[in-house]
């Protein structure tokens, strides 16, 4: 079993009780699957109350040494929300902020998040963005999360900002590959890779995704910007691990390339200490 860091999972933050119960579940599952550490963010469903829920979320995570909290930016909270996030970013166990680009109608270079990005950059934390397809029923704007060049622009504007693009812009992995190649401050996670579509027949997206991934990864000189992520509880961690294991075997990835993806890149980007 390889050492693994999961850079993308979610917890319920509607109450202290729910949050703690779900974090318990996350940690016991981590134990079973050999996952050493994880970056956790709120589920942030419709009606998410940023001011109340982030507070209790950070409190719950700070008691758990293997977990780091990723704050969720709620675009509807305006200046109060921004101020609140800036305060929470001062806490050590906070890894950074996740922006729901696409679900929210702004791109990564939007002025409305500039102040938050300044603080993330100054503190060496991580700006995580939703990239790629969104849930089908959402009234989202795909141009804010499916345009690889918007993330190239962000990386050029802020070469010292640590950027994590969730989901490798699935299903457009190949369009993201040159952006990763050129900008070494952009990383991507592989979360949501296989559970998004019907996997029960041969010609489904899940059947082809390994070719898309192989194509995009073959373009890159190394695997130094790719990280394991599950998207728990929306996706099953064990299937993700099994998928990657067989993918690495099929395409002959060496141990160093695999370990970069399983944990080393996440360890470096998020500053996890492995004793």
> How many whole angstroms separate alpha carbon 109 and alpha carbon 106?
8
> Which span sits near Zn ion by CB under 5 A: 152-160, 209-217, 228-236, 251-259?
228-236
On the CB side of 7, CA atoms within 13 Å amount to 38
Residue list 41-100, contact with Zn ion (CB under 5 A): none
Residue 232 CB, shortest distance to Zn ion, in Å, is 9
> Which span sits near Zn ion by CB under 5 A: 100-108, 151-159, 199-207, 227-235?
227-235
Residue 166 CB, shortest distance to Zn ion, in Å, is 6
- ∠189-52-11 over CA atoms, to 5°? 35
Residue closer to Zn ion (CB basis): 104 or 231: 231
Residue 2 CB, shortest distance to Zn ion, in Å, is 22
Residue list 164-203, contact with Zn ion (CB under 5 A): none
Residue closer to Zn ion (CB basis): 6 or 147: 6
> How many whole angstroms separate alpha carbon 155 and alpha carbon 165?
11
| DSSP helix/strand/coil, 10 | strand
> How many whole angstroms separate alpha carbon 114 and alpha carbon 139?
24
In the list 44, 231, 260, 269, the residue contacting Zn ion (rule: CB under 5 A) is 231
Which residues lie closer than 8 Å to 104 by C-beta, 6 or more apart?
Answer: 73, 75, 144
Residue closer to Zn ion (CB basis): 101 or 158: 101
Which whole-number Å values give the CA distances from 74 to 41, 106, 117, in the listed order? 13, 12, 14
Residue 145 CB, shortest distance to Zn ion, in Å, is 12
Residue 38 CB, shortest distance to Zn ion, in Å, is 12
Residue 12 binds Zn ion, judged by CB under 5 A: no
Residue closer to Zn ion (CB basis): 103 or 205: 103
Task: Name the closest residue to Zn ion (Cβ).
Answer: 231
Print the SS3 string covering 159-228: CCCEEEEEHHHCCCHHHHHHHHHHCCCEEEECCCCCCCCCCCCCCCHHHHHHHHHHHHHHHCCCCCCEEC
**Contact indicator for 185, 160 with CB cutoff of 8 Å:** yes
Residue 196 CB, shortest distance to Zn ion, in Å, is 11
Residue closer to Zn ion (CB basis): 3 or 43: 43
Residue closer to Zn ion (CB basis): 39 or 216: 39
Which residues bind to Zn ion, rule: CB under 5 A? 231
């Amino acid at each position: 079993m390889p050492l693994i860091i999961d850079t993308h999972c979610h917890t319920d933050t509607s109450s202290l009780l729910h949050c703690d119960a779900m974090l318990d579940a996350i940690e016991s599952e981590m134990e079973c699957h050999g996952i050493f550490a994880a970056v956790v963010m709120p589920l942030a469903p419709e009606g998410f109350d940023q001011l109340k829920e982030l507070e209790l979320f950070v409190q719950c995570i700070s008691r758990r040494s293997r977990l780091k909290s990723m704050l969720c930016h709620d675009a509807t909270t305006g200046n109060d929300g921004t101020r609140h996030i800036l305060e929470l970013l001062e806490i050590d166990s906070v890894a950074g902020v996740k922006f729901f680009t696409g679900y929210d109608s702004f791109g990564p270079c939007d002025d409305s998040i500039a102040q938050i990005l300044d603080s993330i950059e100054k503190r060496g934390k991580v700006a995580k963005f939703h990239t790629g397809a969104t849930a089908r029923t959402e009234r989202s704007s795909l141009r804010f999360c499916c345009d690889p060049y918007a993330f190239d622009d962000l990386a050029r504007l802020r070469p010292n900002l640590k950027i994590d693009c969730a989901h490798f812009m699935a299903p457009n992995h190949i369009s993201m590959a040159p952006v990763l190649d050129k900008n070494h401050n952009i990383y991507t996670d592989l979360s949501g890779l296989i559970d998004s579509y019907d996997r029960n027949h041969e010609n489904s997206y899940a059947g082809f995704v390994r070719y898309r991934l192989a194509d995009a990864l073959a373009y890159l000189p190394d695997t130094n910007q790719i990280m394991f992520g599950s998207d728990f509880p929306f996706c099953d961690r064990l299937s993700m691990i099994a998928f990657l294991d067989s993918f690495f075997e099929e395409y002959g990835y060496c141990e160093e390339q695999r370990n970069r993806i399983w944990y080393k890149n996440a360890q470096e980007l998020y500053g996890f200490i492995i004793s």
